Each structure stands twice: as C-alpha cells, then as structure tokens.
Structure 1
Amino acid sequence: MSAQVQYSEFGGPEVLSYVEVPMPSAPADGVVVETRAVGVNPIDSKLRSGARASSPLTAPRVPGSDASGVVVAVGAGVTDWVTGDQVVLRGAHGTYATHVIASAAQLVRKPAGVGWDEAAAIGVPASTAYQALRTLGVEVGSVVLIHAGSGAVGQAAIQFARNWGATVVATGGERNQARMGELGAIPVEYGPGLLQNIRAAAPGPIDIVLDAAGTDEALEASFALVADRSKIGTVVVGARAAELGIQAWAGGNPLPLTAEEQALRAEAYGVTLELMELGDFEVEIGARYPLSAAAEAQRASMSGEHRGKIILDPSA
C-alpha cells in the first residue's frame, strides 16, 4: 500500500487527513517515485486554506510540489530513467505522499553527495530566488538588499547573489542576524529605523531589492533606497505589484510566469544541486515531521516557529 495526505475542503490544517491508498502505477510517459523526503512550503498552507485561489475542489487534493526519492516504476515510453535512480521532483503535484507519479520532465538527478532532506528542500525556495535575482539582473558588483534574508527564499537568494559576486544586505529578526552573516550577508535587524539602519550598514547605493517579507516597512525602505522600481521585486505581495510599480513573481500576482521565468526556475535545480555537491550552497533544515503529522508541520510553517525548511518524513 501507499499513503498520502489529502483534503476535501478548504480550511485550517485540521482538514488534512492521512490515508492509505492503492499503490500507483507508472503511466506510459512517466514514473513512480518512492519519496524519501517531502518539502513543506508556505504556498501549501495558502492553497489548503483557500487564501490563494485555485481550482474548485471536486475530489480529494494532495498538497505539495517538492520531494526527493527513488524511481520504483518506469512507464514503457520512458527511456532516460530506470528503477533505482535517485531524483529530485521539479514542479510536481501531490508530493505529500509515500509514492508520487511524475513525468520524466519533472525529474532531476540527485547527486550522491546531497542528502534526501536537503534535496527535497531546494525546490520552491531556490528556484524562486534564482529566477528573481536573474530577472532583476544581479551580477558581479551589484549591491543587493534582501528582505527576510533568514527565510528559505532569503537564504537561497543570499547565497546565489554572493556566488555571483554581489554584495548583499539582508534584513531579519534579532535571532537571525548571525545566520545571515554566516551566509555572507551584511545583516540588518528589523524594527524602528529600518531605513536608517540599512543606510548605516551599506552607506553606498543599493542597486536591487528582493522582497520576501512584504511588510509596509520593508517596501517603504526599498522605495527610499532604489528610485528605479523595476529593480525592486517581490515574491510575497504580488497582488499589489502593479499598484506599487514593482516586479513580482507569484505571491498573488495575477500575471503568470513568462516562459523565460519558468525556464530559469527549471534551470535552478541543476545549478543548486551542483553547488550543494561542491559545498558552495547549503540548506538549513528547521524541523522534520512524520508525513502523518502534516497538519502539525503546516501549523509550524504558518507560525514561523522554525527557521529553515520544514521536511516531512514519509517513512515515519
């Protein structure tokens, strides 16, 4: 048997249930992946609650898009993958499960030197950060301000920008200052006088802003520091992007990702895994929960009680 977490109505974490289901079969053009680790993302809770619009619920829905695992069944039309291959799922659906059906195009090979948890953790955060920074034009010599630098997207963004030769200033809470500094950013604490504190930490011009916080304080500081609003991007308040005159990618933005942006997000997986194997990129795992405790994991994700990525363990 296989198992999955599903919901049949929108609501709080309590609508999630852990159920046993028949073992899936591989379609002709796809595979079945036995998951080893599943990544929990804020979007999972937003979709489950109905806070983020999605299609009507006409059947039980399984959350999740990030996971790592082993190919255990291969469709007759698949030639590039075999059983036993260790993979990362890219843009998959319904990954809160012990077994997931995926197309061959949704698989990325997992390097042997990258752990299951870390591989499952990169998907949404790393691809979002990579695409956003590439779209904003970060390059050698850029000075980049990242709001919410200690979150999963923020930590990924700090590391990409530093690897590309940029100077990074990152904002975050008091308890997260050391972590942002470890990753190579100049840390600035949230609170009164944020704009002045950023200017004190980085007296020169700021070229680019990536907002993963979405607070009025963060946005106002960004506008004061960067006159060209096309160089300011958000991944959390996309619904306000047109009104504010800034760029946005998902985060409630009614405009879908362009083909180029989608390609960048796909490219991010291979780039990130290679950097991880070389020791030039790291993922902070905040907590692990059994797959059957997905409701508890989503509550923790929404509360922000853990810094770093929350992982579900399908074997527990």
Structure 2
Amino acid sequence: MTDTTQTTRAAQTMRAAAVTAYGPADVLRPVELPVPEPGPGQVRVRVRAAGVLPFDIGVREGVIRPPGAQFPIVPGNEFAGTVDAVAPDVTGFGPGDPVLGFSLLGAYAQYVVVGADQVVRKPEEMEWAVAGGFSGNAQGAHMALTAMRVGPGDTVLINAAAGGLGTLAVQLARAWGATTVIGTASEANHAHLRSLGAIPVTYGDGLAERVRAIAPGGVDAALDGAGGDALRVSAEVARHPDRVITMVDTDQARRLGLPELTGTRTADRLAEMTLLYAKGRLRVHIRAEYPWERAADAQRDVGTGHGRGKVILTRWSAAG
C-alpha cells in the first residue's frame, strides 16, 4: 500500500485544467479529478506553481501525443510544490519537502504524481514561481549546450535569446566559459540581454552580416529557438555545422544536414542547474503569472511566440 499516513489529504478530488478534445485554447478548462495515488518509486506533490511551455500547447492541439495519454488530459510538464505523500520504497523525500520537478503531463493540477527520480529539492533562494517554470527550459538549455559542446573561449550564437529557454542558454554558456554570446531578440529586449552578458542583435534581413560584424570568423556553436531564416543563418555563420542545434525546426535542420538534439531529462541534470541558480549564476524572468482557472489564457500568451521570460500558473486554490 502507498504510505500516506504521514500526511492528511483534505479531499478525494482535486482541481485541474484539462482537455477532453484536441483543439484551440478554449478546450483547456477547469475540471475536478480524483487525487492520484503514488505507486512504487513515486511521490505525490501538491503543486504550488507550474510552467507553461510550447510542448503543452502541442499536447492540447493533438500535435504531440504522449504514449498512453487518455482524455481528460492534464497538460504540464514542469512544476514545483511540496511533497504530499511517498510510496513505501521511496527514500530521500518525505511529506513537506519543497521540490521542483518534471513530467510529460499532469502539472496543471493541484496534485501530480511522478517518480522520485523526477524531483529535486528546491533551493531556499528560489521563489515558487521561478521553481515552477525552471525545469523545462533549464534542462533544455543544458541538453542543447552539452550537444553543442560549449566551453571556454567559445563564441556562441543564440536565437530567440530573450525567451525562457534563450535567457537560460545565454547564462549557461557564460557560466561554462563562453567568451562571447550573441543573442537575437527584438530591440525592446536588448538591454535585458546585455544584463545577462550577451551582445544583442536584431532579427530579420541582414542578420548574417550583423553576426559577422561581431564575430568575423564565424561562431563556434549556435542554438536556434526561432526556426526558419534564423536557423539558416545560424548554419551559415557557424564554423562547425555539427555544433548547430535547433529546438523548433527539425525539418529544416535535416535539410541542412544539422544534427538533431538528443538527451534525457534527469534529476542530476536538474540538480546541476538548480545549484547554479542557488549560486547566483542563473536568473529567471517571470513575465506573467496566471491563476490555474486561466490556463487557456496562459497558453495563448505562450502561443504568441513573443515576450521575455516565463509564463507561470500560480495562485492555486487552498481547497483540496
């Protein structure tokens, strides 16, 4: 049996935002669902904050269909909260522990159940909103820069550098010793990028020339979060095509002969990034917080593809 004797659950049901059919943002609606029970090796977390990612939009639209997903589908693959219950075989975590973690689905809810190897302890220095939206972009940046072999002395180009992934990638590249980080963004975000240690350049026609004005010999590695022409330019100005990674345009990457990103989210990877945050090496900008009842609006916000930093679901009801 699951060990829930150390905590008292206030209700047998929980509030969540779920879809019962694929479609536009309006299909994401508040529902009541059973509180999930942790099985072997799992923990149940009472969610305090959850990040909103493009992946979640793909789930809602039916473009991304995780194996075994059945309606009602609760999106959300990054979260933070307190451990509510643990399975008998779980060690290292107990009720009340503040954690952040990752999953494919389920975080747009008051409770989520995941493997104990999918959570790490939340640093005291990390606010709940930041913790809720940290895992996805932090691990994505880590995987991408690992694949790009970013290291001391490198010149790195990052497209869409002002977004949730881009801002962490800029800071991680600097933390790993990159000498120069060039970030593409709209002019409104240039000051923000400078504060993170990047040299900002604008999108659009002439991008290759603007990059070469900063790095005449080309860049050592490039991370693309924009796709389209930005990815083509990234491949053009990179000295090593095998060090160009896109997060959004795999079809064009194949046509250009660029490698596909591979890697796995792990607790070790997440712990490494949370440690950098605790040491003050990473900052996360929260651009908007929405109550869980407005999860559809939060996804619309992310779906615009514009804006600086993270969109978070917070202000969960105390009931349940």
Common fold: TM-score over 0.5: yes
After superposition, the C-alpha distances for 1:273-298 in whole angstroms (9 at most, x for unaligned) are 11111111111101000011100110
After superposition, the C-alpha distances for 1:34-65 in whole angstroms (9 at most, x for unaligned) are 01110100111112112335458643111011
Q: Equivalent residues in 2 for 1:1-316 (5 A)?
A: 1=11, 2-55=14-67, 58-166=70-178, 167-216=180-229, 218-249=230-261, 257=262, 261-262=263-264, 266-316=267-317
Report the identity percentage.
38
Kept after mapping to 2: 8 A contact 1:63/1:96: yes
Kept after mapping to 2: 8 A contact 1:151/1:308: yes
The amino acid of 2:49's aligned partner reads A
Kept after mapping to 1: 8 A contact 2:162/2:307: no
Equivalent pairs, count: 304
Partners of 2:125 and 2:113 in 1: CA distance? 25
Kept after mapping to 2: 8 A contact 1:5/1:17: yes
Q: Secondary structure at the match of 1:176?
A: helix
Partners of 2:304 and 2:212 in 1: CA distance? 30
Partners of 2:142 and 2:288 in 1: CA distance? 24
Q: Secondary structure at the match of 2:205?
A: coil
The alpha carbon displacement at 1:118 in A equals 1.0
Partners of 2:146 and 2:37 in 1: CA distance? 38
Partners of 1:227 and 1:80 in 2: CA distance? 45
Kept after mapping to 1: 8 A contact 2:158/2:183: yes
After superposition, the C-alpha distances for 1:3-39 in whole angstroms (9 at most, x for unaligned) are 1111121100111111122333332432210011101
Structure 1 vs Structure 2 CA RMSD: 1.8
The alpha carbon displacement at 1:72 in A equals 1.2
Q: Secondary structure at the match of 2:264?
A: helix
Partners of 2:220 and 2:303 in 1: CA distance? 31
Aligned to 2:6: none
Partners of 2:255 and 2:83 in 1: CA distance? 45
After superposition, the C-alpha distances for 1:102-123 in whole angstroms (9 at most, x for unaligned) are 1211111111121111111111
Kept after mapping to 2: 8 A contact 1:92/1:106: no
Partners of 1:290 and 1:7 in 2: CA distance? 17
Partners of 1:10 and 1:57 in 2: CA distance? 12
Structure with more of its chain in helix, by fraction: 1
The alpha carbon displacement at 1:305 in A equals 5.0
The amino acid of 1:93's aligned partner reads L
Residue 286 to residue 134, structure 1, CA distance change in 2 (3 Å): same
Q: Secondary structure at the match of 2:303?
A: helix
Kept after mapping to 1: 8 A contact 2:156/2:219: yes
The alpha carbon displacement at 1:241 in A equals 2.5
The amino acid of 1:262's aligned partner reads T
Unmatched tracts of structure 2, length 5 or more: 1-10
The amino acid of 1:182's aligned partner reads S
Q: Which moved more, 1:284-293 or 1:70-79?
A: 70-79
Kept after mapping to 1: 8 A contact 2:158/2:169: yes
Kept after mapping to 1: 8 A contact 2:50/2:107: yes
The amino acid of 1:139's aligned partner reads G
Residue 58 to residue 118, structure 1, CA distance change in 2 (3 Å): closer
Q: Secondary structure at the match of 2:74?
A: coil
Residue 242 to residue 156, structure 1, CA distance change in 2 (3 Å): same
Partners of 2:239 and 2:185 in 1: CA distance? 23
Residue 55 to residue 271, structure 1, CA distance change in 2 (3 Å): closer
The alpha carbon displacement at 1:228 in A equals 3.0
Q: Secondary structure at the match of 1:89?
A: strand
Partners of 1:213 and 1:68 in 2: CA distance? 27
The amino acid of 2:56's aligned partner reads D
The amino acid of 1:226's aligned partner reads A
Partners of 1:100 and 1:209 in 2: CA distance? 35
The alpha carbon displacement at 1:92 in A equals 5.0
The amino acid of 1:16's aligned partner reads L
